[in-house]
Structure 1
Amino acid sequence: MSAVYKHLTTLLTEKFKVPAQQIRPDATFADLGVDSLAIAELSLLLSERNGVEISDEDLKGSTTLAEAAHTIASRTIEPL
Structure 2
Amino acid sequence: MRGTPVDEVRHHLTALLTGKFEVPPEAVTDTATLAELDLDSLARVELVVTLQEEWGVPLDEDDDTLDGGTVGELLRRVHALLDAAPGAGDPDPS
Q: What TM-score do you get using the length of structure 2 for normalisation?
A: 0.74
Aligned length: 80
Give deviations 1:27-75, integer Å, cap 9, x for gaps. 0001111111001001001001112321222242562101101111111
Give secondary structure in 2 for the equivalent of 1:6. helix
Structure index of larger Rg: 2
Which stretch of structure 1 is more off in the superposition, 13-22 or 47-56?
A: 47-56
The reply on whether 1:15 has 2:20 as its aligned counterpart is yes
Q: 1:48 aligned to 53, 57, 68, which one? A: 53
- CA RMSD of the aligned region, Å? 1.8
Which stretch of structure 1 is more off in the superposition, 25-34 or 60-69?
A: 60-69
* Equivalent residues of 1:5, 1:65 under 8 A apart: no
The reply on whether 1:34 has 2:39 as its aligned counterpart is yes
Gaps of 5+ in 1: none
Runs of 4+ aligned structure 1 residues displaced above 4 Å come to none
Gaps of 5+ in 2: 1-5, 83-87
> Which whole-Å CA distance do the structure 1 matches of 2:57 and 2:74 have between them?
15
Higher relative contact order (CA 8 A, sep 6+): 2
Could you tell me the percent identity over the aligned residues? Answer: 35
The one-letter code of the counterpart of 2:76 is H
